[in-house]
Amino acid sequence: MVSFLEELSSRLNPKVQENYAALQAAKSRHLGASAGPIEMWDRAFYLHQAKSELFSNFGHSTPMYFTVGNCFEGLNLVANKLFGVKLVPETTSPRETWDDSVRKLAVYEENGELIGHIYCDLYSRTSKTYAAGHFAIRW
């Protein structure tokens, strides 16, 4: 196992360095000569900037291949294979979500028992944070 992890690390290290350089370049473009090295607290902000630059090159052709429906179908297949659960889209009630574009998925066990819900906030908007987030909702 250790040899596998060492080999994996050695193969991934060039890509890690490349990604770090991209984050550093984004920080340098943003702050200029006083940028300094990437710090832990910089990661989310500059990762978002780097991704935005990268994906802006795709234009509008990306949705043709990665429709929301296709992505949810793939997510359901993976969730079923890995965890034995089924994801079923549900309609939200008025004011149930913080934005009308949020999608709701019910999560069912193989025996049909509802075990929870996942709310998917997929689209960018000015009031939305750029960092990744996940929130446990219990009642």
Quote the domain boundaries for residue 33: 2-57
pTM metric for this prediction: 0.55
What is the tens place of the pLDDT at every residue in 44-77? 888 887 777 776 666 555 556 678 888 889 999 9
Structurally, the chain folds into a number of domains equal to 2
Find the DSSP H helices in the chain: 2-31, 43-56, 62-65, 68-83
- Indicate if 70 and 116 belong to the same structural domain: yes
- Indicate if 77 and 45 belong to the same structural domain: no
- Indicate if 78 and 36 belong to the same structural domain: no
Beta-carbon contacts of 130 under 8 Å, excluding residues fewer than 6 positions away, are 44, 45, 48
What is the tens place of the pLDDT at every residue in 96-120? 988 888 889 999 999 999 999 998 8
